[in-house]
Amino acid sequence: MTNPTTAILQTDGTSIGPSFAALLERIRRLNDVGKAAGLMGWDRDVNMPAAASADRAQQMATLAQIGHELLVDERVGDWLGEADLEAQRWGAAVDAVETVAEVADEMTSPAIVADLTDRTTVAALLREFRRQRDDAIKLPGEFVARRARLSGAAYRAWVDARAASDWPAFQPHLQHTVDLAREQAGLYGYTTEPYDALLDRYERGMTSAAVERLFDAATAALLPLREAIVREGRPVSAAVLHQPYSVEQQQAFARHIAPLVGYDFGRGHLGTTVHPFASSFSQSDCRITTRWNPAFISPSLFGTLHECGHAIYEQHTSPVLARTPLARGTSSGIHESQSRMIENIVGRSRGFWRAHFGALQSHFPSQLANTTADEFWRAVNHVGPSFIRVEADELTYNLHIVLRFGLERALIGGTLAVADARDAWNAATEDVLDMTPPDDAHGILQDVHWSSSMFGYFPTYALGNLYAAQLYEAATAADPAVAEGLNDGNVLPLLAWLHTNVHRYGKVYPPAELIVRATGHPLDEGAFVRYADAKFGDVYGLG
Amino acid sequence: MTNPTTAILQTDGTSIGPSFAALLERIRRLNDVGKAAGLMGWDRDVNMPAAASADRAQQMATLAQIGHELLVDERVGDWLGEADLEAQRWGAAVDAVETVAEVADEMTSPAIVADLTDRTTVAALLREFRRQRDDAIKLPGEFVARRARLSGAAYRAWVDARAASDWPAFQPHLQHTVDLAREQAGLYGYTTEPYDALLDRYERGMTSAAVERLFDAATAALLPLREAIVREGRPVSAAVLHQPYSVEQQQAFARHIAPLVGYDFGRGHLGTTVHPFASSFSQSDCRITTRWNPAFISPSLFGTLHECGHAIYEQHTSPVLARTPLARGTSSGIHESQSRMIENIVGRSRGFWRAHFGALQSHFPSQLANTTADEFWRAVNHVGPSFIRVEADELTYNLHIVLRFGLERALIGGTLAVADARDAWNAATEDVLDMTPPDDAHGILQDVHWSSSMFGYFPTYALGNLYAAQLYEAATAADPAVAEGLNDGNVLPLLAWLHTNVHRYGKVYPPAELIVRATGHPLDEGAFVRYADAKFGDVYGLG
C-alpha cells in the first residue's frame, strides 16, 4: 500500500511553509556538495595519481569548508526553528487525511508499515538535519583543525610504526588521538561516560553499558562453541583458498556473482583499491571496490560480497528521500548488518555454494577440479586462531571486537593509561583468544582506527553481526521462501524482505526503532548465537 | 634564471594588500569548486552508470550555482577595484628591485623571458579574473537557464537528426542556437561584428577579419598542394591501418608510447570514453581518455597522442600559477597547437616511426609483418577525400574548418539564413572540397558544435595547426637538436623548448602575445604552408 502523499520531500517544500522550503533548498545544496566531496574521495582512492594527493586534499578541504559554512549559517538555525512550527501546523492539517490509513496499517502489522508517511519523513528530516548542524556547531574550528593536524600526523606515524612493529614510536601519537577523542566527547556532551558520546555518532542511541551486556552475553555463548570446534570438530581445511588465482578470473567471477546477490551494476561500478569500500553518490550510483590477491581467493570473493551488501542497502533507500541526509543507511551497525548478511549469512551458506560452486569451478577449473561444493563451503567457514582481526573467521571476528571495545572504552574513560595500552592489549588477547601476539604489528598496531581517532566505531562491526542474525531470523519467520530460497542459492525472497523492512527507510528510523519495527524486539545476542551454533555445528559435525 | 620573487601567488597575498588577499582566497575557492565540477564531468564520462545522469546533472548544477554566486558576489567587485590599486602601489615598490634583472632579460632575448615576474603574474591574474567575472555578470540568469534548456533540446534533436540524416528535423533547433549565439554576442558586446564576440571567448584578441585573412592565405597554398598530390603523387595506401587490432594491445601500445612523447603517467591517468578528451584537476593530475576501435588503429593511436599534447601543456604550467585561472592553456587555439604538435608534427613524422615502428610491430606482429616503417609513415599521412571532418587527413582537415568558419560567421552575422544553411553547406563543400555530401549526416549534421551553440570554436582547430607549425619552426631555428632529435624519434629537445616558451606561462600571456614572444612575430600561415609542402612532398614524392 503506497501512501499517495509520500513525495513531499521531492516538492519545493512550500506546502509546509516558507522556512521549510528554504531549509529544504539548503539541505539539497549541502547534499550535492557532500556528494562532490565524496566523489573526490572515491576518485582519490581509485583513479588519482598519488602525486596529486596534496592538491586533492586542498580541494576536499575547500568543499568541507563550504559545506560547514552552509550548515552553520545563522539563517539555517532560524529556518529550523520556524520549520518545526510549520511542520507541526501542517502535520495537524494532514492528520485528518492520513489517520484512517495509518491506523489500518499499524493494526495489520506493527513491524511492517505500509510505506513512509510524509509526517514521518518530514519529522525525521528535521531531526537528522538538526543533529548534523548541532554536531557541526559543537566542534569549534580550532578543534577541527587541530584534530586534522594531530590525527594526520598520528596516521602517518602509525603507518611507519606498524611496518616496523614499533609500539614506542606510536605511543605518543595514541596519547594525542585519545586526548582528542576525550575532548570531542566533552564537546558533544554525555550523561554517563565519555565513550557514549563517541559511540552515539556511529550508532545513535546505543550506550556503552548496552554494548557491554550484549558482548558479555554473546561471548559467554561463543567461547564454548569455539572450544567445542577445536575439541570435537571434524578436520576442516582452508588450503583450497590459498592457491594461485588469476586476478582477471577473480574479476570475472566478482562481476558474475555480484548481480546474483542483488547488486545492480546498472546503478553501480566496481573499482580496485587496497582497502575495499562502498560509496554512493546518489541512489543511482552506488559503487564498490575490491582488492585482488593473486594467491588467495577469499579477499576478492568475500570482500566483493561484503561491499555488495553495503551498496544494495543504499541502492534501495526510498527515492522520496533523495538529496537529503535520510537517503543513506541509518547507522554503522545496521549498515554492517547488510554487508555481513550478504558476505556471511548468504555468501558462506551451504546453499549458496551448492548453487554457485559450478560457476566458480568454471572460472578456476584447475584449482578447483578436486574440490566439491560442500568441501568449499566448509573451507570458507574454517575456524582457527588469528591475531589479525581482518583475517579472522566469522566466529572469532567478534572476539576481536570484544577485545577492542573493552580497551578503547577504558582508554576514553581514563581507567587505562596509554602507557599501559600495549600490555593491556596483549593480556586481553591472552584472555579472550588464548594467544600472545608475536609482535605489536600483530597486536595493538594492526588497526588504522585509533590512529585516526575513530574511537567508538569498532563495536558496530560486531553489532552488525548481531543485527544481521536477528534480521535474518525475522525474515525466515515471516516468509518460508527466504530459507528455502537460500537453500537453492536464491536470495530474492531475502532481499525482498530486507528492501521492505530495512533498506527503503534509509535514516528515517534510528537503529533501535528500526530493529524493533523489523523484528518485533530490541537487539539481543540470541539470534546470532542460534545461527552460529547451527551453522558451525553443521560445518564441524558437532553433537 | 629564476626570479626569487615569483611565488607571490602562493602566499596569502597580504604583502600586496588586504583586498588582494581576500580576492586570492576567493579565487582559490572558485578554483577548487571548478575542479570538483570538472571531476564530476570526467567521472560522468569515464565511470558513472548512465542511470545516474539526472542526479549528476543536478549535482553539477549545484556546484555551478555555488561558483556563480562566489564569482558575482558584490564584495568581489569591491576587492577587484581595491586590489588593482594595491597592486599598482606594490608594483611601484618592487620596480626598484626588479628593473635591473628584467632589463637584462629583455636584452638577452625578446622571445624568451627568464621567468614570470610577480608583477606580470599579478597583473595577469587580475586581468583574467576580472574578465571571467565580467563575462559571468554579462549573462543574466534567465539567459543562462534559457540557453541550457534550448541547447539541451537542440543537442538531443541533433543526435536523432544525425542518425536519421534528417536536416528538416534539426533546422528549427539550429535557429534556436543561432539566435542564442547572436543574443549572447550582443550581451558580451563587440566592435565590428557579432561573431568576434564569440570567437574572443575561445581565442582572446582574435577577430573574424584576421581569421579570414589567415584562412584565405592558407587555402590559396593548400589547394594547389592537394591538387598536386592527386595529380602527381605516388600511390599511398592506408589499408594497413584498417585491420583487426586487439583492443588490449592497442591499450598496451598507448601506455608504451604516451610517456615517450612526454606524458607523465605519474601525474596522469588514461581512461576510456566514446569522445576522447583531456581534463586536468591540478597540475599533478592531468588525465586523458581514448577510444578503441578493434578494426582501425588510428583513432587510439593518434587520439592518444593528441590528448597527450593537451595534457603535457597543463602538466607543465608553472607551479606558481596553481589554484588560479592562469594555471591552464591560454586559448583554445594554443591548446590545439600542442595537441596537433604531438599528434601530427611529432606523431606523423618519419623519424617518429623509424624509432617506434618496431615497438608497434611487436605489439601487432601478424598485422604489421609485411610493412616497413616508411610504409607505415606514408599510410598515416595518406591524403584523400573525406566528407567527415574528424576522419580527414592533416591537410584536408583545415579545409573542413575553412568551410565551417565561413558558414557560421555568416549565420551569426545574419547574412546567411538558417533555412539556407544546408544548401550553403553543400555548395561550400563542392567549392572547397570538390565533392557533394551524399546526405546530411555526411554534411551539415556531422558536428556537435552548432547543436550546443558553440559558435566561434571551429576556427581554433585550424589556428592550432598554424600555431603549431610556427612554434615548431621557431623551435628548430632556436635549437638544432629539436629537428635532429625528431629524426631519431626523440622529442625531448622539442619538449624542452615548448616547456620554456609556451607551457609554463599558462594563461599569463594572451595568445597573440605568447606567439610573438615565442616566435618573434605574429601568427601567419607561412610556417604551416612550408611544413605541409615539405612533408607531403616527401610522403608523395612530389617535385
C-beta atoms of A265 and B323 within 8 A: no
Helices (H), B346-479: 350-363, 373-379, 396-413, 421-433, 458-478
**Per-residue pLDDT at B10:** 83
Angle between helices A167-188 and A396-413 (to 10 degrees): 70
H/E stretch holding A289 reads strand A285-290
CA distances from residue A447 to A158, A390, A420, B386, B415 in whole angstroms, order as listed: 9, 9, 18, 62, 72
Residue B93 burial (10 A CB sphere; 0-12, 13-18, 19+): exposed
Grid cell locating A515: 530493529
Q: Which residues 6+ apart lie within 8 Å of A447 measured at CB?
A: A389, A404, A458
Shortest Cα–Cα distance, B293 to chain A (Å): 22
Helices (H), B189-261: 194-202, 208-232, 247-260
For residue A5, pLDDT beyond 70: no
For residue A112, pLDDT beyond 60: no
| Distance between first and last Cα of chain A | 47
**Per-residue pLDDT at A448:** 93
The string of DSSP codes covering B277-304 is -EEEEETTEEEEEE---TT-SHHHHHHH
H/E stretch holding B271 reads strand B268-272
C-beta atoms of B33 and A63 within 8 A: yes
Is the interface score ipTM higher than 0.85?
yes
C-beta atoms of A269 and B49 within 8 A: yes
The string of DSSP codes covering A437-459 is -SSGGGTTTS-SGGGGT-TT-HH
Of B485, B473, B483, residue with least CA distance to B519: B473
Angle between helices B458-478 and B480-487 (to 10 degrees): 110
Selected from 1.10.645.10, 3.40.50.300, 1.10.1370.30, 3.50.50.60, the CATH number assigned to the domain covering B239-382+465-520 reads 1.10.1370.30
Most B-contacting residue of A30, A69, A282 (CB-CB within 10 A), to test interface = A282
Classify residue A488 by its DSSP letter.
T
CA angle A523, A529, A531 (to 5 degrees): 100
**Per-residue pLDDT at B94:** 74
In angstroms, how far apart are the furthest CA atoms of chain B? Answer: 70
B39 vs A40, A282, A323: nearest CB: A40
Q: Report the amino acid identity of residue A519.
A: T
**Per-residue pLDDT at A360:** 98
Answer yes or no: are the C-beta atoms of A300 and A250 closer than 8 Å. yes
Of B366, B368, B348, B350, residue with least CA distance to B358: B368
B284 vs A51, A66, A265: nearest CB: A51
Averages of pLDDT over runs of 10 residues in chain B (543 residues) are: 60 92 97 97 95 94 95 98 95 65 40 59 96 96 92 93 96 97 98 97 97 97 95 96 97 98 97 94 96 96 98 95 96 98 98 98 98 98 93 95 97 98 97 93 95 95 98 98 96 97 96 98 98 97 89
CA distances from residue A486 to A347, A357, A479 in whole angstroms, order as listed: 10, 14, 12
**Per-residue pLDDT at B96:** 59
Q: Where residue A104 falls among pLDDT bands split at 50, 70, 90? A: very low
Give φ, ψ of B458 to 5 degrees: -50, -45
B52 vs A28, A51, A267: nearest CB: A267
For residue A106, pLDDT beyond 90: no
**Per-residue pLDDT at A108:** 38
Q: For cell 567575472, what's the residue?
A: B133
CA angle B267, A254, A358 (to 5 degrees): 155
Of A419, A386, A379, residue with least CA distance to A403: A386
Q: Which residues 6+ apart lie within 8 Å of B34 measured at CB?
A: B67
Shortest Cα–Cα distance, A340 to chain B (Å): 25
Q: What residues does each domain of chain A span?
A: 8-138
In whole angstroms, give the CA distance from residue A47 to residue A42.
Answer: 8
Q: What letters, b where the CB count within 10 A reaches 16 and e where it falls short, cover B329-348?
A: bbbbbbbbbbbbbbbbbbbb
Shortest Cα–Cα distance, B323 to chain A (Å): 9
Shortest Cα–Cα distance, B353 to chain A (Å): 30
Using a CB–CB cut-off of 8 Å, the residues of A that contact B are: 28-29, 32-33, 35-37, 39-40, 43, 47-52, 54-56, 58-59, 62-63, 65-66, 265-269, 271, 281-285, 287, 322-323
Smallest CA–CA distance from A54 into chain B, residue: B284
**Per-residue pLDDT at B4:** 43
Shortest Cα–Cα distance, B65 to chain A (Å): 10
**Per-residue pLDDT at B205:** 96
CA distances from residue A247 to A252, A304, A321 in whole angstroms, order as listed: 9, 13, 38
CA angle A130, A132, A136 (to 5 degrees): 115
For residue A388, pLDDT beyond 50: yes
H/E stretch holding A247 reads helix A247-260
In chain B, what residues touch A40 (CB-CB under 8 Å)? 36, 39
| Distance of alpha carbon B269 from the chain centroid | 19
Q: Which residues 6+ apart lie within 8 Å of B390 measured at CB?
A: none
Most A-contacting residue of B28, B59, B270, B324 (CB-CB within 10 A), to test interface = B59
In chain A, what residues touch B28 (CB-CB under 8 Å)? 62
**Per-residue pLDDT at B91:** 86
Average pLDDT over residues A192-219: 98
C-beta atoms of A282 and B52 within 8 A: yes
C-beta atoms of B266 and A33 within 8 A: no
H/E stretch holding A281 reads strand A278-282
C-beta atoms of A285 and B33 within 8 A: no
Q: What is the pTM of this model?
A: 0.93
| Distance of alpha carbon B271 from the chain centroid | 19
Smallest CA–CA distance from A59 into chain B, residue: B32
**Per-residue pLDDT at A96:** 58
Answer yes or no: are the C-beta atoms of A443 and A429 closer than 8 Å. yes
For residue A414, pLDDT beyond 70: yes
Q: Which residues 6+ apart lie within 8 Å of B112 measured at CB?
A: B500, B501, B517, B518
Grid cell locating B357: 615502428
Average pLDDT over residues A373-379: 98
Most A-contacting residue of B55, B255, B270, B279 (CB-CB within 10 A), to test interface = B55
Q: Where residue A95 falls among pLDDT bands split at 50, 70, 90? A: low
Q: What's the half-sphere exposure (Cβ side, CA atoms, 13 Å) at B286? A: 20
In chain B, what residues touch A56 (CB-CB under 8 Å)? 281-282, 285
Sheet holding B268-272, edge to edge: B268-272, B285-290, B278-282
CA distances from residue A419 to A187, A400, A415, A422, A425 in whole angstroms, order as listed: 25, 21, 12, 7, 11
For residue A198, pLDDT beyond 70: yes
In chain B, what residues touch A54 (CB-CB under 8 Å)? 284
C-beta atoms of A32 and B63 within 8 A: yes
Q: Quickly count: other Cβ atoms within 10 Å of residue A50's Cβ.
A: 10
For residue A221, pLDDT beyond 80: yes
Q: Where residue A126 falls among pLDDT bands split at 50, 70, 90? A: very high
Average pLDDT, chain A: 93
In whole angstroms, give the CA distance from residue B232 to residue B228.
Answer: 6
In chain A, what residues touch B56 (CB-CB under 8 Å)? 281-282, 285
Q: For cell 578436486, what's the residue?
A: A370
C-beta atoms of A282 and B59 within 8 A: yes
- Sign, CA dihedral B429-B431-B435-B436, equals positive
Using a CB–CB cut-off of 8 Å, the residues of B that contact A are: 28-29, 32-33, 35-37, 39-40, 43, 47-52, 54-56, 58-59, 62-63, 65-66, 265-269, 271, 281-285, 287, 322-323
Beta strands B285-290 and B278-282, pairing class: antiparallel
Q: Where residue A94 falls among pLDDT bands split at 50, 70, 90? A: confident
| Distance of alpha carbon A416 from the chain centroid | 28
Average pLDDT over residues A355-371: 98
